[in-house]
Structures are given as C-alpha cells and as structure tokens.
C-alpha cells in the first residue's frame, strides 16, 4: 500500500479536494486532508488493479515497477483492496463528529468509485476491447466513468467539506465532468506522443493493443481541439463559483497544456 501510494504521481485528485474546499471555507473549519487522502487511496487502488496481468498487464507506474512486479500478484490485489477499504474508513473516522457530512462524502465517493462510474467505465473499456467498433459516444461513456467521475467527485467532496450550497455543488459537478474529459483526452495525446521517462508509465500501450483512444479515433489535431473545448467548458463552470477561483482556473490551464 505504501509502495504505490508514496510512489508519487501528480496528486491531482487530492489537490482538487483542497482547492474546492478552500473556495467555500478559506479558514478550513473542517479539515479537508482526510478526504483528499481518501480520494488518492481509491485512485491508487484503481491504478494497482488496472496494472495487474488480468487487466492492462503493465510493468511501469509512477516511474517504478508496478505493484505486482515489485511484490507479487496476490500482494498487489490485496494492497488495492485494502486502499479501497481504507478510503471509507478514513472518511467515517475523520468526519465522525459531523455524521451528515461523513455520509454525504461516503455516498459521493462510493458512487464515483462503483459500478456506475469507475468500475463500470473499466468494464465498458474491457468490452470495447472485444468489440469491432468503438464510437466517440462509447469512448466518452468509458472515460466519463473511468476518469471523469473521480475528478468530479474530488471537487464535490471539497465543496461538501467547505459547505458549498447546492447550486455551487452543481457547478463543481459540471466543471469536474468537463475537466475529467479534457484530462483523459490529454492523457491519450501524451500516450501517443510521450516517452516512458517523462510519463513514468509505458506509453503507446493502448494503440499497440488496438484499443480505441481519442487520438486513434479522431487524430492528434482534432483531439487537441476537443481537449481545449472541454477545458473551456470547465473554466466557464468554475468561473460561476463564488470565492477566488484563480488557482482552479490555473489548474485547468496546466492540465490541458501539461507534458506528463
Ligand atoms: C476492481 C479489478 C478491479 C479493477 C479496477 C477501476 C479500475 C480497475 C481501473 C480504472 C483505473 C484507470 C487506469 C483509470 C484511468 C484514469 C487515469 C487517466 C489515470 C491516471 O491518472 P493520473 O495521470 O495518475 O492522475 P497519477 O499517477 O499522476 O496519479
């Protein structure tokens, strides 16, 4: 668990939790850190399991051998399971004094990580590999689940902790969905153009495995345009939020111009 969690990574999702919480409660009356860690635990579990031989069978993650390569397959499976479980322990434990907040956080995170989003998206991805045609609509549905749902949930968790009112939570959801898609399109672009040393993971695997990506479906230029469109829509949604959105808007810009 520590090996994979402490390997690094961009920490995007926890940063989104903190940034969203700060928009509504700059004094941090409720500590957003346990929720930020919980989100990173779920994300790291999904990467460990995604790298397993029965899934993507990858050797490199976050610039290191994948968990099952550094240890073994059963250990990696259990490390992922334990990180998933620990995320919900953290939320229940850290926010026990505010039971309605703890329930709202668990509900949001469980929905994003469950069969309708993260795991459902992964299943659709596996089915897509076996299907002759993957359309743009199918690809968007896969990544709305696999990638965007956790990015959106991170923002909503932050908003809930900061005490955001329902219209602002809706703004975080809308912006998060667009940011998540922009992030995935950029991931596909980097996968097609980057190298292992910069990315810290094996590039070009999806294309080699004949898996549909935004780049394989639309080409590089159109994919760049699509990422830009989604990033503009995310910025528009975030601009409608109260508080100082400078950091969040800067993050959107960074994510759509990033090199790794
Ligand atoms: C339950 C057996 C079982 C498996 C679950 C849900 C799942 C497997 C896999 C989905 C995980 C996945 C690879 C999602 C794609 C999202 C994505 C682009 C991940 C990479 O995120 P970054 O770039 O990674 O933020 P770092 O390392 O920087 O945190």
**How much distance in Å is there from the Cα of 47 to the middle of ligand 1?**
4
Q: What is the pLDDT of residues 156-189, one digit of tens each?
A: 999 999 999 999 999 999 999 999 999 999 999 9
- What integer best gives the mean pLDDT of the chain? 95
Residue with tokens 């990467």: 47
Domain ranges of the chain: 10-255
N- to C-terminal Cα distance for the chain?
24
Q: Which element (helix H / strand E) includes 59? A: none
Ligand 1: atom nearest CA of 54 is: 2
Span 67-73, mean pLDDT? 98
- The share of the chain scoring above pLDDT 70, in percent, equals 100
What CATH topology corresponds to 10-255?
Farnesyl Diphosphate Synthase (1.10.600)
**Is residue 66 very low, low, confident or very high in pLDDT (cuts 50, 70, 90)?**
very high
- Phi, psi (rounded to 5 degrees) for 115: -70, -20
Q: Is the pTM of this model over 0.85?
A: yes
The Cα 105–Cα 21 span in angstroms is 13
Q: What is the pLDDT of residue 207?
A: 75
**How much distance in Å is there from the Cα of 43 to the middle of ligand 1?**
6
Alpha-carbon dihedral sign for residues 139, 214, 8, 30: negative
The Cα 197–Cα 204 span in angstroms is 13
Q: What is the pLDDT of residues 88-112, one digit of tens each?
A: 999 999 999 999 999 999 999 999 9
Ligand 1 pocket, residue 108 CB under 6 Å: no
The Cα 88–Cα 14 span in angstroms is 15
**Is residue 26 very low, low, confident or very high in pLDDT (cuts 50, 70, 90)?**
confident
Q: What is the pLDDT of residue 194?
A: 85
Cβ contact 227:186 at 8 Å = yes
Q: What is the pLDDT of residues 194-247, one digit of tens each?
A: 888 787 778 877 777 778 999 999 999 999 999 999 999 999 999 999 989 999
The Cα 168–Cα 260 span in angstroms is 30
| 61: β partners | 64
Q: What is the pLDDT of residue 252?
A: 96
Ligand 1 pocket, residue 62 CB under 6 Å: yes
DSSP 59-114: SEETTEE-HHHHS-HHHHHHHHHHHHHHHHHHHHHHTTTSHHHHHHHHHHHHHHHS
Ligand 1: atom nearest CA of 147 is: 16
Q: What is the pLDDT of residues 125-144, one digit of tens each?
A: 999 988 889 999 999 999 99
Determine whether 155 is exposed, middle or buried from the number of CB atoms within 10 Å of its CB (0-12, 13-18, 19+): buried
């Amino acid at each position: 668990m520590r090996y994979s969690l402490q390997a690094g990574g961009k920490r995007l999702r926890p940063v989104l939790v903190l940034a969203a919480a700060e928009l509504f409660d700059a004094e941090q009356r409720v500590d957003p850190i346990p929720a930020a860690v919980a989100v990173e635990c779920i994300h790291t579990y999904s990467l460990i399991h995604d790298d397993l031989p029965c899934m993507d069978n990858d050797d490199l993650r976050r610039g290191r051998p994948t968990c099952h390569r550094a240890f073994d397959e059963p250990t990696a499976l259990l490390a992922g399971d334990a990180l998933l479980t620990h995320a919900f322990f953290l939320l229940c434990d850290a926010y026990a004094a505010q039971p309605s907040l703890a329930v709202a956080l668990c509900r949001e995170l469980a929905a994003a990580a469950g069969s309708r989003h993260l795991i459902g998206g992964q299943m659709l991805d596996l089915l897509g590999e076996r299907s002759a045609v993957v359309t743009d609509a199918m690809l968007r549905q896969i990544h709305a689940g696999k990638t965007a749902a956790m990015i959106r949930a991170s923002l909503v968790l932050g908003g809930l902790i900061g005490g955001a009112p329902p219209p602002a939570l809706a703004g975080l959801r809308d912006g998060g969905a667009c940011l998540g898609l922009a992030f995935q399109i950029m991931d596909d672009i980097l996968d097609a153009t980057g190298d292992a040393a910069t990315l810290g993971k094996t590039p070009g695997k999806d294309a080699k495995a004949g898996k549909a990506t935004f780049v394989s479906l639309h080409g590089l230029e159109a994919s760049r345009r699509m990422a830009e469109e989604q990033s503009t829509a995310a910025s528009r949604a975030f601009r409608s939020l109260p508080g100082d959105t400078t950091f969040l808007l800067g993050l959107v810009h960074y994510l759509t111009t990033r090199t790794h």
